[in-house]
Structure 1
Amino acid sequence: MSTVARLRFQGITKSFPSVKALSDVSFDVQPGEIHGLLGENGAGKSTLLRILSGVFKPTSGTVLVDEKPVAFKKPMDARLAGIAMIHQELQQVPHLTVAQNMFLGHSVTKAGGLLVARREQERRAAEALSMLDPGIDPGAPISSLKVAQRQIVEIGRALLDKARIIAMDEPTSSLTPSEFERLADVIARLATSGVSIVYVSHKMDEVFRICQRASIMRDGRLIDVVDLSKVSHSDVITMMVGRELMQDAHISHATSTVKLQAKNLTSPKIRDVSFNVRKGEVVGIAGLVGSGRTELLRLLAGVDRISTGSVEIDGKPVTLANPRDAIAAGIGLVPEERKRDGIVPGRSVTLNMALASLPAFSRGGFISKGRVKTTANDLLKRVNLRPFLLDRPIRLFSGGNQQKAIIARWLAARSDILLFDEPTRGIDVGAKSEIYHLIEALAAEGRSIVVVSSELPEVIRLSDRVLVMRDGQIAAELPREGLSESAIVAHAIPGVTGAAPAA
């Protein structure tokens, strides 16, 4: 390692009126290093990155770039110092072009600054993107790009700013494995050119794949800086959470009683899908992005309209024309896009929990706040909400705790069929373990569970059997005894050999 660090945090402490978010954090990042920043939600990672990007000022301590102290009053100061931040939720304007997004805030102008030099912007954008993905058209609307390409546009924007340090916060939360590999190659090329990367992710496989070292944080403190070639996944997780996570074997609670029966479901993106879910059973749904997994759950939740086909619950036909029908039938959806589709950000965690069952808390058209509070107290304790602040806006909770509140919503609504779409996306390893145990506890109570996940180990960990989807159809049904990543992939990807006939 070079003795001249590209980035150094030296004794960084950050205090807010009610909490100390960071306490004496010190570590360095070398030129051309891809450095992991790891910890559970609430460990202090985001606060540290906000200090690096000029959003917060440290209470004490110093940030050094190329061993020179820097003090940022605003984010623009950090950008001018060669620091770029790529957020999990991309900061882009959908109706603008790729080039316009790359030059937001510092447009190239002509005619004495009166006009934007659009062609010059597109030329410079193409030049910046050439080493990353020359197939991206600078004149195309940013909304027409895949998420992986939009991530690359953000990296290109950082290169336009001549960034020497790029911090990436959960950059692959919405990417497929193949898209991650492409992004990993881009990051490796950046590092080879001397750019230093601070990489935040909850996905241990990714961190070990691309990072050389990692700084591990817990409760606002630096626990250790480790050489990832000399430690195991479990070593890192134990340092992150302060305990060993339970690695329980799968236990089935499935009964012989069919709870939900779907027959020949068809919609614009689903073709003739039939399957059932028994009481106490966890049915996993795997497949590539675009295979129809999410669309199938949306049909069952009444979000999208079923063109043909039928659904029976407890042997009786039900109409699922809208979400109200689904809720009345005892179906609850935990959506993939939690922040967009699952919560009302500015409202309390208590109100968010009660959204699906407000009539049950009403008398004479008025909601009984006392009854809501009592139910919230019971159910949010059950799902282990942390911190246990019932009046706090849900947007201030971590992703894992937002997910717990959504699960509590369906417990309040007495839903006995639960649909989980990517249940642990963007959730740290400690909360992920808790979500797994919650799903299993719900199955043990006799609820019927459907889980869609892009993480094959997760599908295998949770499921009694797995339906593999491809092109809007069920390509295979794999029993528990035959579950493996290779078996799932063999059915999910057209042309892969070794696939057994569908059950």
Structure 2
Amino acid sequence: MAVPRLAFENISKVFPGVKALSDVSFDVAPGEIHALLGENGAGKSTLLRILSGVFRATEGEIKIDGAAHHFKRPESARQAGIAMIHQELQQVPHLTVAQNMFLGHSLTRFGGIVVNRREQERRAAEALAMIDPTINPAAPISTLKVAQRQVVEIARALLDKAKIIAMDEPTSSLTPSEFERLADIIERLSTRGVSIIYVSHKMDEVFRVCQRATVMRDGKVVGMVDLKKTATAEVIAMMVGRELLAEEHHSHATTTTSVEARNLNTARVRDISFDLHKGEVLGVAGLVGSGRTELLRALSGADKVTSGTIKVDGKLLTLSNPRAAIAAGIGLLPEERKREGIIPDRSVTINMALPSMNRFSKGGFINHRKLKRAAEDLLKRVNLRPFQLDRQIRLFSGGNQQKAIIARWLAAGSRILLFDEPTRGIDVGAKSEIYHLIEVLAAEGHSVIVVSSELPEVMRVSDRVLVMRDGIIVAELGRDELSEETIVSHAVGKADSRPGAA
């Protein structure tokens, strides 16, 4: 049997009071695209940090091409041919593409006194030419799209002659077309003998690009599968330890209008008109840049409305700022959860209470007993796990952070909920819980707008779907009209249902 390019042999990792990994063993062949799957907290990130030299294993060893390695630092892993591409790209915005590619090991001249920028740019251009020659190595990396910045990280790995590239949620911010481009690059790397470890919660992508998958749960390997011979449902059941039942959509929409928007204009959206009903889940689909997020920002008071009207429960609303929207019962779960949705170092309880702290304070002093009672009630209702109310919110998984933000708007008494990419970066089990929460909220009479780049998600949760393109609504689709093909055709302009459209 051929020697594996990479082998994990009985890897265990113990932190104080916690065994994060237990006897993890599997291998990856040269040129193989190998998925590493599991819910948040399964141990995937810990294992990759050991592979990349950030953590040291408590027990076990890593073998590369048959030779044992014990990495003490990231530089040792890099020298052994391992590259790590993180979900949140490790780049310095004000530096050029080439400078980022040589970050930490710049090329110098004159005895190491001066950085040889010309040589760095020449070598960077050579590496980029293998996958995307259109990227200028002298350009500031901040001017590139996310997909191009991903390509720069891959080119950096090629520059380092990486034999193993680990990709952690590489498509969380990419459009479907950008994913196809990345998939093509991954497949070309594979044909050159580069082994890829691919971590993703998006099962369609995993089955599209990977040959085998190792499935982890609770720090252990629970199975390895041939993806060409295994059903998606079987893999998901291994990940979560149970079958996720395919839930049918149940509409709770009424004829009562909760939000009436007419001819809304902002700097990014134009002539937007729609109604949202009590108990309805209204989906908004479209390509990245189509105006979906900007529509939610306008409704939440984050972006200035230059003209048009918004009525809530029949009353004209002046959205001068987010406070006005909150006072009118509107709550926004933002797309950028970590940057815009949470205060990482504060407790989950404090994060939950942010917009409604006046409910829990008097004379400038917080009534901690009252706050704790409310937190226990609301965070139990959204099934927060682990149920540790004083724990910093940054220590929770993405799915549980989202649950805390949903609880925030329940605490604030919001009746209109705006969810922007509610399951981005969340594992399949937590996704199912978020979908269930959305349906429960609608059944209770909340009105919900869901923006999502994942078409199956939009179709799963919505009673109706608005499709946006270039800042305007180009189609309104009833539930019986929903299909991926129909949504995409409107989003890209192959079909147009606007009045008077050719």
What TM-score comes out, normalization by structure 2 length?
0.98
Tell me which residue corresponds to 1:280. Answer: 279
Tell me which residue corresponds to 1:291. Answer: 290
Give how far 1:112 is off.
Answer: 1.6
> Cα deviations across residues 234-277 of structure 1 (Å, max 9, x unaligned)?
01000000111121111000011000111110011110101110
Q: How does 1:342-357 map to 2 (within 5 A)?
A: 342-357=341-356
Query: Which amino acid letter does the alignment assign opposite residue 353 of structure 1?
Result: M
Give how far 1:415 is off.
Answer: 0.3
Q: How does 1:52-451 map to 2 (within 5 A)?
A: 52-451=51-450
Tell me which residue corresponds to 2:18. Answer: 19
Counterpart CA distance in 1 for 2:339 and 2:124 is: 30
Query: Which amino acid letter does the alignment assign opposite residue 113 of structure 1?
Result: G
Tell me which residue corresponds to 1:9. Answer: 8
Give how far 1:500 is off.
Answer: 5.0
1:473 and 2:477 are equivalent in the alignment? no
Give how far 1:3 is off.
Answer: 2.2
Q: Does the 8 A contact of 1:286 with 1:456 survive in 2?
A: yes
Partner of 1:474: helix, strand, or coil? strand
Q: Does the 8 A contact of 1:8 with 1:65 survive in 2?
A: yes
RMSD: 1.0
Partner of 1:240: helix, strand, or coil? helix
Counterpart CA distance in 1 for 2:136 and 2:341 is: 33
Counterpart CA distance in 1 for 2:320 and 2:91 is: 34
Identity of aligned residues (%): 71
Give how far 1:214 is off.
Answer: 0.4
Q: Which runs of 4+ in 1 moved over 2 A?
A: 499-503
Counterpart CA distance in 2 for 1:390 and 1:500 is: 49
Partner of 1:271: helix, strand, or coil? coil
Partner of 1:20: helix, strand, or coil? strand
Counterpart CA distance in 2 for 1:316 and 1:375 is: 30
- Contiguous gaps of at least 5 residues in structure 1: none
Counterpart CA distance in 2 for 1:405 and 1:304 is: 24
Partner of 2:27: helix, strand, or coil? strand
Partner of 1:50: helix, strand, or coil? helix
Counterpart CA distance in 1 for 2:315 and 2:357 is: 26
Counterpart CA distance in 2 for 1:328 and 1:75 is: 49
Tell me which residue corresponds to 1:482. Answer: 481
Give how far 1:502 is off.
Answer: 6.2
> Cα deviations across residues 81-117 of structure 1 (Å, max 9, x unaligned)?
1111000000000111000000000111112211111
> Cα deviations across residues 147-195 of structure 1 (Å, max 9, x unaligned)?
0000010011111111111100000000000000000111111111111
Q: Does the 8 A contact of 2:172 with 2:424 survive in 1?
A: yes
Query: Which amino acid letter does the alignment assign opposite residue 192 of structure 1?
Result: T
Counterpart CA distance in 2 for 1:473 and 1:41 is: 36
> Cα deviations across residues 448-486 of structure 1 (Å, max 9, x unaligned)?
000001111111111110001011111011111111111
Query: Which amino acid letter does the alignment assign opposite residue 36 of structure 1?
Result: A
Counterpart CA distance in 2 for 1:270 and 1:389 is: 41
> Cα deviations across residues 207-258 of structure 1 (Å, max 9, x unaligned)?
0001000000011110111110110110100000011112111100001100
Query: Which amino acid letter does the alignment assign opposite residue 441 of structure 2?
Result: L
Q: Does the 8 A contact of 1:477 with 1:502 survive in 2?
A: no
Distance 1:501 1:271, change over 3 A: closer
Counterpart CA distance in 2 for 1:362 and 1:231 is: 55
Counterpart CA distance in 1 for 2:10 and 2:106 is: 37
- Between the two proteins, the alignment pairs up a number of residues equal to 500
> Cα deviations across residues 370-389 of structure 1 (Å, max 9, x unaligned)?
21111111111111111111
Partner of 2:228: helix, strand, or coil? helix
Q: Does the 8 A contact of 1:188 with 1:210 survive in 2?
A: yes
Give how far 1:19 is off.
Answer: 1.3
1:48 and 2:47 are equivalent in the alignment? yes
Distance 1:312 1:500, change over 3 A: closer
Query: Which amino acid letter does the alignment assign opposite residue 22 of structure 1?
Result: L
Q: Does the 8 A contact of 2:11 with 2:61 survive in 1?
A: yes
Partner of 2:234: helix, strand, or coil? helix
Tell me which residue corresponds to 1:492. Answer: 491
Partner of 2:10: helix, strand, or coil? strand
Counterpart CA distance in 1 for 2:370 and 2:140 is: 49
Counterpart CA distance in 1 for 2:453 and 2:185 is: 22
More displaced, 335-344 or 366-375? 366-375
Give how far 1:40 is off.
Answer: 0.3
Q: Does the 8 A contact of 1:44 with 1:220 survive in 2?
A: yes
Query: Which amino acid letter does the alignment assign opposite residue 300 of structure 1?
Result: L
Q: Does the 8 A contact of 2:474 with 2:497 survive in 1?
A: no
Query: Which amino acid letter does the alignment assign opposite residue 254 of structure 1?
Result: A
Query: Which amino acid letter does the alignment assign opposite residue 205 of structure 2?
Result: E
Counterpart CA distance in 2 for 1:150 and 1:176 is: 14
Give how far 1:501 is off.
Answer: 5.6
Counterpart CA distance in 2 for 1:465 and 1:52 is: 45
> Cα deviations across residues 348-389 of structure 1 (Å, max 9, x unaligned)?
111111111111111111111221111111111111111111
